[in-house]
Structure 1
């Protein structure tokens, strides 16, 4: 009998990707062939793992569902299932609006999908995943949910309260992934710094990172999505002392003006923010900071925006992303503020902010010319090997381009490179030596 093929499509963040990877492992164990994010899906069954964070993400998810629903109507698809954040939030509405979908699941009950296929969840494989990333790196999810109540954010509505994974379970997962060839871990959560408060009654991120760094075979650990208020400052010591903890921090600051921070319900001030950045750079020399900022939140004045631009110029973030406010039903902002800033003003502010950052990024990249860095090689693309330094997270940060030479490089291996050229997006280098 022909093995059935299941296409899995993952939308949204890397936290969703981890869920998809766990599902793929279970499906393969149950005898299915599985593809992930295939450019031309040809399976008998499709599973779409959706995002519901902001307007654009919701629209992308709905368009993807409709595309597959049409394929089912045309007879090229037997079954269509939907899971993830969008269906967690709008499950009943979606079931009415898109009846072609055989079943909608939320973010946390995807194990029922196996049951509905006539299979069962294999508890023995709970730590195992089929990686969709290159074999040498993986995302490591340490918690679900969020207890912060930022005015604009629907995540707590979708995912519920913060729930930390026990340290021992995380360490077992790290050991398993190392046994599969993983060298680099992107530690992710909706909010890293709250880790452990629910389980251990105190912030445990520094201790967790130390424990992960002790596991033999862990070469790089990179931290994503920290929150600035009540930052666990012992993490500075861990980053300084542990060579395999990258000097990199992804900390979403959103804004700098006290007016906006208060309206956003961020529980941090302008003064606190500047002090934390100064502390980072003093305590962890050479750290690269990535942040995310928001423009167009209700109540943002021209003065607030000027303050934000000034902040970006002064702080000179190594990496920065920004987005425009979109009203999300059920949030504090949707209930209490009027979304009165026109979209064209929001977009103009976003463009202006990113223009400033583009210039800063170009200058910071140019300053790396003639310096040497340790780089991991991710892939080959055209005439170049593509790699990253410890300051670069996959998908979102600049890459290192190394011309093909007579000495082939190995994907997943580390090399010392010297930077020969740079632009605002990427740097170019030549290999000095291999670490393997």
Structure 2
């Protein structure tokens, strides 16, 4: 009988892509592989960890401890750990949790095949076993980051920005389209830097244009852009290519010049407002997703009031926020005192998200009566759950369609009329 390996992925979609590549390799050499099983039952477990902020690190450590205990109790033969947490804390983890057979970093997980007595199959590089629904996939175009934001540990963990060659990315897209993928979430730690290391210039617009020209690519959605030195030719590509979603995920973090300077964001308040205005002028109907931070050292009440005004004024279609968490080794951990109390951070976070909740409710209600192209992801309860071009999986609102209305197919597109809304989601009927 084939041995079963349970792979558990924590953290972001970039980790998920690594897990999917590993699953494909393990299946090729004869293993049964399950991903994020509700009840792990394999003889071997691989935990792909996150090391970004405190909560994520805690979740990863707790997961390792849980499986280490299962191994001690004889329920597990081997336990392996990979990803960002072990990249950052390899020595410490090896000492603290010795039940793990081997720790790998973020980039050397291919050694796992050799340690299992198998070979890594180079010829399968573009191939992955998707853990998402078969109609969409995440497409990682680079690793690492050259930005020096004060609070961020990512460059410490993943190193400098490394772009993948365009031809390699296009080959992967063509392979995924051949397996039935229609929708691509293009991801990187920092999209706008793509190409500078390889081609000596920003190549994101050209890359997106070339992906859009591949037959079978229905939707392309862009995640994790940076506001400074934004490649404005991308506006043209978004306007001209119908399969490039009018959607941009651009983490802005703050708006006051004081905070942008302390955060080392290389952009000003005026430049940020101008960029948002340019987005909405150049790409009519675009939906902007952003992430904001409260409680960074030095954030005054005045800074926070500016941030609230920014959210009210810009009315982001999609917005998330989080409280500052000091990360060792970062610029802010070395240079600033984390003097804002956790209570104040939480209060500011709640206040900001409350403002956004009102905005989101109003924006959703304004969509009633609109007709949208929607892809169906799954069935849940009495509803088909779908998304429009403005909705990324996992993080954005969804569109609910009554199941008894008409039989719909998972992974297919339908024309939907919006008939209702709540704080975050829409209700639709098939036209």
Q: Which range, TM-score by smaller chain? A: over 0.9
1:352-367 → structure 2 map (5 Å cutoff):
352-367=351-366
Match of 2:33 in 1: 34
Distance 1:370 1:245 in 2: 24
Match of 2:285 in 1: 286
Once the two structures are TM-superposed, the CA of residue 405 in structure 1 deviates from its matched residue by: 2.8
Distance 2:264 2:358 in 1: 31
Match of 1:60 in 2: 59
Match of 2:204 in 1: 205
Match of 2:326 in 1: 327
Distance 1:407 1:197 in 2: 49
Match of 1:247 in 2: 246
Distance 2:352 2:405 in 1: 43
User: Alignment partner of 2:184: what SS?
Assistant: strand
Match of 1:157 in 2: 156
Query: What TM-score do the two structures reach when normalised by structure 2?
Result: 1.00
Distance 2:73 2:404 in 1: 49
Query: CA 1:154/1:80 → structure 2, altered by over 3 Å: closer, same or farther?
Result: same
Alignment of 1:344 onto 2:347: no
Once the two structures are TM-superposed, the CA of residue 406 in structure 1 deviates from its matched residue by: 5.3
Distance 2:118 2:49 in 1: 23
User: Alignment partner of 2:406: what SS?
Assistant: coil
- 1:350-398 CA-partner distances (Å, limit 9, x unpaired): 0000000000000000000011100000001110000000000000000
Match of 2:371 in 1: 372
Distance 1:404 1:127 in 2: 37
Distance 1:276 1:351 in 2: 27
Distance 1:57 1:212 in 2: 33
Distance 1:161 1:192 in 2: 13
User: Alignment partner of 2:89: what SS?
Assistant: helix
Once the two structures are TM-superposed, the CA of residue 120 in structure 1 deviates from its matched residue by: 1.0
- 1:313-359 CA-partner distances (Å, limit 9, x unpaired): 00000000000000000000000000000000000000000000000
Alignment of 1:172 onto 2:177: no
Match of 2:275 in 1: 276
Match of 1:70 in 2: 69
Distance 2:103 2:344 in 1: 37
User: Alignment partner of 1:99: what SS?
Assistant: coil
Identify unmatched segments of 5+ residues in structure 1.
none
Alignment of 1:266 onto 2:265: yes
Once the two structures are TM-superposed, the CA of residue 407 in structure 1 deviates from its matched residue by: 2.8
- 1:149-205 CA-partner distances (Å, limit 9, x unpaired): 000000000000000000000000000000000000000000000000000000000
1:194-233 → structure 2 map (5 Å cutoff):
194-233=193-232
User: Alignment partner of 1:23: what SS?
Assistant: helix
Match of 1:10 in 2: 9
Match of 1:102 in 2: 101
User: Alignment partner of 1:240: what SS?
Assistant: helix
Distance 2:345 2:383 in 1: 38
Query: CA 1:317/1:406 → structure 2, altered by over 3 Å: closer, same or farther?
Result: closer
Distance 1:244 1:405 in 2: 30
Match of 1:299 in 2: 298
Distance 1:23 1:92 in 2: 23
- 1:85-137 CA-partner distances (Å, limit 9, x unpaired): 00000000000000000000000000000100000100110000000000000
Distance 1:128 1:114 in 2: 16
Which consecutive segments of 4 or more residues in structure 1 shift more than 6 A? Answer: none
Query: CA 1:72/1:258 → structure 2, altered by over 3 Å: closer, same or farther?
Result: same
Distance 1:176 1:238 in 2: 23
Aligned-CA RMSD value: 0.4
Match of 1:79 in 2: 78
Once the two structures are TM-superposed, the CA of residue 284 in structure 1 deviates from its matched residue by: 0.1
- 1:63-102 CA-partner distances (Å, limit 9, x unpaired): 0000000000000000000000000000000000000000
Distance 2:32 2:26 in 1: 8
Match of 2:139 in 1: 140
Once the two structures are TM-superposed, the CA of residue 424 in structure 1 deviates from its matched residue by: 1.1
Match of 2:381 in 1: 382
Once the two structures are TM-superposed, the CA of residue 425 in structure 1 deviates from its matched residue by: 1.5
